[in-house]
Structures are given as structure tokens and as C-alpha cells.
Amino acid sequence: MPENLEKRLKRQIHGKLHHFTAIVPLGFETTLVKELRLMGIDAENDSFETADGKVFFTAKITEAWKVVAHSRIANRILMDIASFKAENFRELEKKASEIPWELYLPPVPVTPDSLLVHVTCKHSRLYHSDAVAERFYNVINGGSLPLVRTASLSTPSAGTPRNAPQQHLYISLLDDRCTVSLDLAGEELYKRGHQRFVNDAPLKETIAAAMLFEAFEQEQSPITLIDPMAGSGTFSLEASYMASGLIPGKCRDFALKHQPGFKETTWNYIIKQEDVIAAITILTSDISDKAVEIIKHNIETSPLPKGSICPEKKDFFSYTSDEIEKLRGNSPAVIVLNPPYGKRLDANAPKLYADIGRKLSEFKGCTVAILAPKGACTENLLKNCAALGSPSTKTFKTSHGGISLNCFVGKVC
């Protein structure tokens, strides 16, 4: 690396504070803030701001790297690299050309396969997202314009090198102000870096982790986790990660590792730190043979300790209160549920949620974390399990797969 560039990276990338935006599942913004504080992220003046699906904070870049490696709840971490007024394309190109791209992007030819530009335009004179992306490609390439490819039009080609994750640049034009942000992760963080089979409409790992975080916060370790509608085993896998101390970024390659400011020694130190959230005994079951086989495969291909999850075929409605008491012993129990809804369910969804509510009301003393579609499903759930509608229950308004959901985390009493 040229000495001059190294000095500039030290001064402008590592030596100053940057503004970051963490993209998080809708409704779980404060949950992410709690996670960031727990992992010791020292935001400037301990200031975290939130908006729908976003958490804003100011910190050193190495702390943002730690979030990328350790966060179980964030989906992306974006670093703001420029902000300027742009009312026309000439002004946009001039300001974009002033950004020191060599400090942020790998020193390789920039193509739409190596760099994906995401553009959103709102209340701005520049409203054509593809045209905005084209200007940025042109500027970054020093005037050599490639074929335009934006996030809405394409995905990486099969020729993209495996050891060089695609870089993502986010351009936001709002009221004629252009904000340019660089994604530190590349692919979304809910991907944990190991092969995983999924059942129908699988729950994102980041939502599962957020629900577990909120549920475990209400109990003291050791905890018995009961995952009786396991599907692909997402809750159980995330809980096992938490119990074993394995950080989500352990098996992942990230865009940040291929950016000019990356320091391998610092990164190695970051990923050596463990995050043991709680001592957890995990009990996993599903009514489907297919689901049980999928879970077994996902455990085998993960870095988790063998035997940490032993799924069995069992109908949730066959559990009895005595059985739950025996399973939990003297430890607090957390029951997690992502029941079938939407495309996963052919039967009457409101009736299913009424049945689930009646069954949950039998499990006195257990903490429950459950997702329910808004409307009749939520109404029937709360009607038949009144404890989940009490003021002490935490409610999160979220969405998954385009469906608006309520997440309830509360104790059955």
C-alpha cells in the first residue's frame, strides 16, 4: 500500500468518528440498541437514535466492525461517507467526484458485478434512480461508463470471485440532499455463513434472535427453551449460538474485509471474543417429519456443538402442563412460536391461533414469545390467552414476508 494512502486511511478512516446506520427488523429498534450496549459499543455520548427499521449511532469504524461480527439482530451496517446538495446531474457528478473513493472501495476495476448501487429518490429534482446510479458508476470509474446495473434490476453474476464479496453502495436522494453510504457487510447479516435447508417461509434469523433476546431478558439463567413448532429450527439454532458463545460472523466473509481500511489483526481480535448470552437447554420439536430432518441437517452443517439440539417429532398440542413442568425442572421456561400463517397455512388461521392461545394458557409460569398476523389471528390469540394481552407483555409491531405481524413476549400467569 502506498505510504500516502496508508496515512490517509489512518487519519480519515481509523482516526475519526463516523456516522452509521444499522438496518434492523421493523419494531425491534430498541432491542438492537440494548444489544449494542451489551456488546460494549461506545457510541459518541452514548447516543443512539431510532427510526422505523433503523438505528443511528456515531463511533469508530472498528466498533462498527464489531457490530457486523457480533450482532444477531442487525441486518446491515451502513457507513455514511458523504452528504451534499444536488439539484441537477452536473452538481451530482461534481460532488460525487470529490469523494475519495480509494479510501472506501477495493482497488479493482469497478463493474456492476463488483459494486451494486442502490438508489432511492424522494421529493428530489433527481428522481430517476437508474440515471443516478449511472452517474456514480461513471464517476467511480473515472469516466469509463460500464453497463448500468442497479439493485432493482440484477443480482451478482456467477463470475463474481468468491473471495471478493460484492460491495454495496446506498444512495439516498431526499429533498435534493444526497447521502452516500457504504455497506460494511455485503450480503445481509441474517445469513450466518453456513449451508442451511429451509422449510416453507422460514423465519429470518435476525427476527428470531430479537425475540429470544427479549424473552431471555425477562428470565435468569439457566433457561429451558421450548421450540415446539420448530420448522427449520431457526429459534433453536439461534439459541444454541447464544449458549455456545459462537458469534454470527465467525463463518462469514464480509465486504469490509476487502475494503482499503481493513486491518486483519484488529478483525482477528474482534472475532476471538465470545458472546455467551445465557445457559440454555434447548428442546426442539415439530409435527412434520420433513421439518425434523431439515433441522438435523442444519445442525450438522453448522459450527455448533454436536448434540446441542436433538429435534423430535411431536405435536405442539400434545404437550401437557405436567410435561412442561417436568421438562423445565427448576429453571425458567421460554416457549417460542412462529405458527404457520400466510402461504404456509391451508387451514383456518384464526381458528389455529385460538387453539394456540388456549394451549398456551395452560402453561402457567412460562414466558412466551410468539408471532401473530394482525387482525383476527391476533384477536383470537389474545382472547384465549389473556396473559399475552396484559400491560406487562411487550408488544412489537413487525413484518415478515410482506405480512404485518404482532410479536408478543410475556409471561403466562
Strand partners, 396: 407
Give residue 153's pLDDT.
36
- Classified by CATH at the fold level, domain 205-411 comes out as Rossmann fold (3.40.50)
Give residue 47's pLDDT.
87
At position 239, the amino acid (one-letter code) is: A
Q: What is the pLDDT of residues 48-104, one digit of tens each?
A: 999 999 999 999 999 999 999 999 999 999 999 999 999 999 999 999 999 999 999
Give residue 160's pLDDT.
42
| Percent of residues, the chain, with pLDDT higher than 70 | 92
Alpha carbon distance 353, 373 (integer Å): 9
- List the one residue out of 250, 304, 266, 269 whose CA is nearest residue 68: 250
Scan for cell 397455512, then name that residue: 345
Top-confidence residue, 249 or 261: 261
Give residue 156's pLDDT.
39
Scan for cell 437447554, then name that residue: 281
pLDDT at 395 over 50: yes
pLDDT at 146 over 70: no
Write out the E strands in 86-222.
Answer: 115-122, 167-174, 177-183
Q: Is 264 exposed, middle or buried (0-12, 13-18, 19+ CB in 10 A)?
A: exposed
CA dihedral 35, 280, 304, 258 (to 10 degrees): 0
pLDDT at 359 over 80: yes
CB atoms within 10 A of CB 28: 26
Alpha carbon distance 8, 264 (integer Å): 18
Give residue 221's pLDDT.
83
Domain 3-183 has CATH 3.40.47.10: no
- The verdict on whether omega for the bond into residue 339 sits within 30 degrees of 0, i.e. cis, is no
- What average pLDDT is seen over the chain? 90
Give residue 235's pLDDT.
96
Phi first, then psi, for residue 351 (nearest 5°) are -65, -40
pTM of the model: 0.91
233: Cβ contacts below 8 Å, ≥ 6 apart: 227, 284, 291, 294, 295, 298, 299, 309, 311
Overall average pLDDT of the 363-380 stretch = 96
Alpha carbon distance 57, 46 (integer Å): 9
pLDDT at 154 over 80: no
Domain boundaries in the chain? 3-183, 205-411
Q: How far is CA 228 from the centre of its chain?
A: 23
Q: What is the pLDDT of residues 28-53, one digit of tens each?
A: 999 999 999 998 898 777 789 999 99
Q: What is the pLDDT of residues 313-356, one digit of tens each?
A: 999 999 999 999 999 988 999 999 999 886 655 568 999 999 99
Q: Are 44 and 59 in contact (CB under 8 A)?
A: yes
pLDDT at 302 over 90: no
Alpha carbon distance 212, 215 (integer Å): 5
At position 355, the amino acid (one-letter code) is: D
Helix H or strand E segment including 139: helix 129-140
Q: Are 261 and 61 in contact (CB under 8 A)?
A: yes
Give residue 162's pLDDT.
53
| Percent of residues, the chain, with pLDDT higher than 90 | 73
* Fold agreement between 3-183 and 205-411: no
Alpha carbon distance 135, 249 (integer Å): 33
Scan for cell 447516543, then name that residue: 47
pLDDT at 152 over 50: no
Q: What is the pLDDT of residues 164-214, one digit of tens each?
A: 789 999 999 999 999 999 999 998 999 887 767 676 668 999 999 999 999
Q: What is the pLDDT of residues 96-127, one digit of tens each?
A: 999 999 999 998 777 778 899 999 999 999 99
